[in-house]
């Protein structure tokens, strides 16, 4: 099977492309906008006709959460309308579509339990609204082939392209090593997810085909960003204080959910939830990218 990976220069895309051949699949990487902009549906359709992939994994998004508040049109074009194009063209050709979504469409109270696919969405930012639009477009326009896979707090070896190649863990370690004062929010609860594991989960979904629809795929367990940052520094052997702060103290332009831990209920019921606890993924990541100095 030939699998097209849109956004292969990003952290999730890079790990998927690396893992596909090991599972016996042929990877068809599309690095990013320069090669094929997903907002150009005509170009996407002709790419499908030339390359004839069996499945498309779309990791591309306009996911600068704060910038989306100022650039609604761009956010809507990339996160909702472009995804409609992907869904329509994949459905027409019977090509599987895996649309990566986000936990930010949810927003439960801080003392919630992990939120399954049936939980109501509460998109409270332009980013969340436009990403929910992408979820709906996939489910509506690709009913026979479309999988929406919502995830959370990604960290992978390639680093987040949008954030200049640094993900949250990298940023924490960089700032701590520079000895700068650190403040991290303690009232947003998440399930940080390693991209190498998510790549394996996606590959298993392609192999097992549990059926089109909505899926949550995040690490097990939960933590605040503050707890996550402290765990990263401890594992990296860095002794540096991090002050816990509230979201209100940061006053970011876009709203962030207080609780957006997802429950992988559909994967679990299908017997194919292979995600592990976030601490396991973090330990593996730190061991690989920031091994202790001898
Ligand atoms: N990072 C997180 O913490 C997090 C949390 C929850 C969900 N997610 C979702 O997971 C997915 C992958 O995230 P990531 O962290 O791997 O992102 P990333 O590292 O920023 O990579 C995004 C990739 O998409 C490409 N891209 C962006 N706009 C494009 C467009 N219009 N057309 C074609 N390609 C485009 C980028 O390349 P160019 O810049 O060269 O175009 C890049 O290769 C996204 O949907 C993201 O919203 C991420």
Residue 206's pLDDT is 98
Atom of ligand 1 nearest to the CA of 103: 6
CA nearest to 172, candidates 9, 290, 14: 290
Q: Is 190 in the pocket of ligand 1 (CB under 6 A)?
A: no
How many domains does one find in the chain? Answer: 1
Q: Is 230 in the pocket of ligand 1 (CB under 6 A)?
A: no
Please give the residue range of the domain that contains residue 155. 2-159+191-220+262-278
Q: Residue 17 falls within a domain, yes or no?
A: yes
The CATH number that applies at residue 28 is 3.40.50.720
Q: Is 153 in the pocket of ligand 1 (CB under 6 A)?
A: yes
Q: Residue 199 falls within a domain, yes or no?
A: yes
Catalytic annotation present for 147 = no
Atom of ligand 1 nearest to the CA of 82: 31
Q: Residue 241 falls within a domain, yes or no?
A: no
Atom of ligand 1 nearest to the CA of 131: 47
pTM score, whole prediction: 0.97
Residue 293's pLDDT is 72
Q: Residue 185 falls within a domain, yes or no?
A: no
Q: Residue 176 falls within a domain, yes or no?
A: no
Q: Residue 8 falls within a domain, yes or no?
A: yes
Options 127, 215, 285, 290, the catalytic residue: 127
Q: Residue 172 falls within a domain, yes or no?
A: no
The total number of residues shown for the chain amounts to 294
Residue 112's pLDDT is 86
Residue 294's pLDDT is 64
Q: pLDDT (tens digit, 0 to 9) for every residue of the chain, 294 residues total?
A: 999 999 999 999 999 999 999 999 999 999 999 999 999 999 999 999 999 999 999 999 999 999 999 999 999 999 999 999 999 999 999 999 999 999 999 998 877 899 999 999 999 999 999 999 999 999 999 999 999 999 999 999 999 999 999 999 999 999 999 999 999 999 999 999 999 999 999 999 999 999 999 999 999 999 999 999 999 999 999 999 999 999 999 889 999 999 999 999 999 999 999 999 999 999 999 999 998 776
Q: Residue 226 falls within a domain, yes or no?
A: no
């Amino acid at each position: 099977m030939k699998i097209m990976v849109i956004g292969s220069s990003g952290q999730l895309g890079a790990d998927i492309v690396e893992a596909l051949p090991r599972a016996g699949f042929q990877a068809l990487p599309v690095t990013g906008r320069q090669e094929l902009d997903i907002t150009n549906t005509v170009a996407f359709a002709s790419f499908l006709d030339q390359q004839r992939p069996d499945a498309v994994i779309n990791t591309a998004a306009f996911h600068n959460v704060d910038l989306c508040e100022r650039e609604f049109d761009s956010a809507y074009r990339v996160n909702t309308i472009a995804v409609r194009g992907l869904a329509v063209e994949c459905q027409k050709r019977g090509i599987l579509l895996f649309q990566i979504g986000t936990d930010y469409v949810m927003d439960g109270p801080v003392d919630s339990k992990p939120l399954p696919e049936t939980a109501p969405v509460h998109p409270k930012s332009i980013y969340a609204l436009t990403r929910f639009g992408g979820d709906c477009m996939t489910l509506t326009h690709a009913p026979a082939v479309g999988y929406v896979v919502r995830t959370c707090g990604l960290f992978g070896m390639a680093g987040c392209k949008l954030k200049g190649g640094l993900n949250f863990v990298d940023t924490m370690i960089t700032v701590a090593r520079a000895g700068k004062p650190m403040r991290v929010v303690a009232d947003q609860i998440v399930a940080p997810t390693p991209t190498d594991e998510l790549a394996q989960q996606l590959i298993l979904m392609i192999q097992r085909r549990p059926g089109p629809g909505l899926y949550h795929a995040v690490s097990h367990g939960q933590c605040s960003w503050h707890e996550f940052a402290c765990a990263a520094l401890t594992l990296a052997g860095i002794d540096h204080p991090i002050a816990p702060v509230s979201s209100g103290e940061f006053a970011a332009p876009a709203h962030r959910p207080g609780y957006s831990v997802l429950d992988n209920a559909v994967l679990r019921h299908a017997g194919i939830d292979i995600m592990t606890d976030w601490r396991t993924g973090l330990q593996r990541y730190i061991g690989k990218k920031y091994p202790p100095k001898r």
